[in-house]
Amino acid sequence: MEILLATHNPSKVAQFRPLLAEYGFAVTSLLANFFIGNKFKSYIQNRLENTAQDIVATITRQYDKSSGRWDAAAVHSIGMSLLYDGFIIRVSDAGGNVVWDAETCDMSLCTAVLDDISDRMTGRSHNDGALTTKVFDAMDGSEKIGTVNVKYPGPYFFSEGDFNFLDALNRILILTAIFTLFVSLLAGFYIARRLSRPILTTAETARKISEGDYEVRIGEETNTIELDRLIGAINQLGESLKNQEDLRKQLTADVAHELRTPITTAQTHLEAMIEGCWEPTKERLQSCYDEMTRISRLVRDLESLAKVESGNSKLDRSMISLKELSNNAVLNFEAELKNKELRMSVEGSDSRIFADKYRIDQVLMNLMSNAIKYTPEGGNIDIRISETEDSVILEFEDNGIGIPEEELPLIFERFYRADKSRNRMTGGSGIGLAIVRSIIAAHGGTVEVRSSLNSGTCFTLTFPKTSI
């Protein structure tokens, strides 16, 4: 018996889990930084647009509608204040004449402010020194009174407060990543130790089972569903292999026991006749022949059982009538029924099943043979056929000697005989009911039995209506 397992080293697998956790958290931190950065840039863009709208509204209020003139001094004051905040404005009247321009009003101050802002932003916001320009119409109601140009460095303009916020956020993310990595390492090593021990134990148990130690079991639970399922499967495998090994040994012993008596009997008779102790009379030769027949019948039954249980025997299925097969079985045993004056009846519907006619006939023959053997003279044997929504049921009942209740679970085992007093000649090979169970199971059906001593026995066969 050879068991194939995964060749992965459990310890290496366990060591790999912390690495996966580390990489996972690292990627998560990078993604978090990326998405937060993009979200913050979107926030900055919206804020710049709102600020530009506010600037235009403030500038527009410096227009005197009654005189139709701009308050240049007020625009100058506002423009200089905005310049220190990084905004460069130029205001033109409705005719396109410049009211005030920061770049021409105080070029040196404007340049110094722009250089300072550029120095602060370079390398921190990937600013390349370019200016973004927004052009707005200054409106007084429905009347256009001028144009306001608003400039600021780069596509994103970060104030000093914005930079401080981003620096603090990055520090928090870095510290969080370091803390998370530390925690993940501790958790990873802890989980690895919890996983590697039962995995190693399971691998060792599987190795012992593969070497033929079917008694070994894994007793620990891991509180991990997957591992507990694996442990349960390994234990179940060991139990199944142990049962198969016990069955194989028992089968070998049973076959040897069943063959020993007829072989010994025939051998003794033949030796006696060869040595001249016995004359080779017709009766003695017949006895030897009967023993050989018994051996042949046993071998034939074993071959039939092996074919059915192995699955190598392909079922030749067709739609067959259970009632027709039952009537044929009655005809085949007509002489035996007449000799014991047994009353035989077949009742019920003419139900059909998708099955192997030869195998089902074999089942009926075995059941008929048992019923005739253990039903006293003048007794009754009844076959009843019925249907449910998805099944066809055949009941095979007699009023014979019955079977003790404690022996009912054993009657389908190979070589088991409920009647210990009967000999092999009258009792058969002891595997007839094992063949019955195997054939019914191969058809996807079930067989059940109920019996009482001195009251009779009833076998209930259930077949599926649909094909398998």
Max mean pLDDT among 205-209, 265-269, 441-445 falls in 441-445
Residue 372 falls within a domain, yes or no?
Answer: yes
**In this structure, what token pair is assigned to residue 299?**
């071998």
Q: Are residues 353 and 462 in the same domain?
A: yes
Phi then psi dihedrals of residue 459, to 5 deg: -95, 130
Residue 199 falls within a domain, yes or no?
Answer: no
Instruction: Compute how many other C-beta atoms are within 10 angstroms of the C-beta atom of residue 319.
Output: 10
Residue 192 falls within a domain, yes or no?
Answer: no
Confidence tier at 426 by pLDDT (50, 70, 90): very low
Q: Are residues 371 and 465 in the same domain?
A: yes
Q: Are residues 305 and 319 in the same domain?
A: no
pLDDT of residue 104: 79
Compute the half-sphere exposure of residue 128: CA atoms within 13 Å on the CB side of its CA: 3
Taken in order 354, 359, 365, 371, the sign of the CA dihedral is: negative
DSSP 427-454: H--S-HHHHHHHHHHHTT-EEEEEEETT
Q: What is the rounded CA–CA span in Å between residue 22 and residue 25?
A: 5
Q: Are residues 332 and 286 in the same domain?
A: no
Distance between the two ends of the chain, CA-based, in angstroms?
31
Q: Are residues 292 and 332 in the same domain?
A: no
Q: With contact defined as beta carbons under 8 Å apart, do 375 and 412 qualify?
A: no
Residue 399 falls within a domain, yes or no?
Answer: yes
Q: What is the rounded CA–CA span in Å between residue 318 and residue 354?
A: 5
Q: Are residues 306 and 330 in the same domain?
A: no
Residue 186 falls within a domain, yes or no?
Answer: no
Q: Are residues 159 and 15 in the same domain?
A: yes
Q: With contact defined as beta carbons under 8 Å apart, do 281 and 270 qualify?
A: no
Q: Are residues 17 and 158 in the same domain?
A: yes
pLDDT in tens, 104-113: 776 676 677 6
pLDDT of residue 158: 62
DSSP-derived pairing of the beta strands 343-348 and 380-387: parallel
Q: Are residues 360 and 411 in the same domain?
A: yes
**In this structure, what token pair is assigned to residue 136?**
């707005």
Q: What is the DSSP letter of 106?
A: S
Q: Which residues form the domain of 105?
A: 11-170
Q: Are residues 33 and 135 in the same domain?
A: yes
End position of a domain, from candidates 281, 313, 345: 313
Using the structure block, give the residue that is written with the tokens 């006619």: 357
- Mean of the per-residue pLDDT values for the chain? 78
Q: Are residues 96 and 232 in the same domain?
A: no
Q: What angle do CA 59, 61, 67 make, to 5 degrees?
A: 115
Fill in the amino acid letter for 130: A
Share of the chain above pLDDT 70, in %: 75
End position of a domain, from candidates 298, 313, 328: 313
Global model pTM greater than 0.85: no
Q: 355-359, 404-408, 421-425: which has the minimum mean pLDDT? A: 421-425
Residue 239 falls within a domain, yes or no?
Answer: yes
Query: Which residue stretches of 211-275 are H helix?
Result: 225-274
Q: What is the CATH number of the domain that holds 145?
A: 3.30.450
**In this structure, what token pair is assigned to residue 211?**
């070497």
**In this structure, what token pair is assigned to residue 65?**
């509608």
Q: What is the CATH number of the domain that holds 364?
A: 3.30.565.10
pLDDT score of 421 more than 50: no
pLDDT in tens, 17-72: 455 555 655 666 667 667 776 777 777 778 778 888 888 888 888 888 888 888 88
pLDDT of residue 321: 92
pLDDT of residue 359: 87
Q: What is the rounded CA–CA span in Å between residue 294 and residue 263?
A: 10
Q: 1-5, 253-257, 408-412, 460-464: which has the minimum mean pLDDT? A: 1-5
Q: How many domains does the chain have?
A: 3
393-405 average pLDDT score: 92
Q: What is the CATH number of the domain that holds 282?
A: 1.10.287.130
Q: Are residues 444 and 353 in the same domain?
A: yes
Residue 278 falls within a domain, yes or no?
Answer: yes
Residue 181 falls within a domain, yes or no?
Answer: no
Q: What is the rounded CA–CA span in Å between residue 462 and residue 443?
A: 10
Q: With contact defined as beta carbons under 8 Å apart, do 62 and 78 qualify?
A: yes
End position of a domain, from candidates 271, 291, 313: 313
Residue 258, C-beta contacts closer than 8 angstroms, at least 6 positions apart:
298, 415, 424, 429, 430
Residue 329, C-beta contacts closer than 8 angstroms, at least 6 positions apart:
361, 364, 365, 368
Q: What is the rounded CA–CA span in Å between residue 278 and residue 411?
A: 40
User: E strands of 182-293, at which residues?
Assistant: none
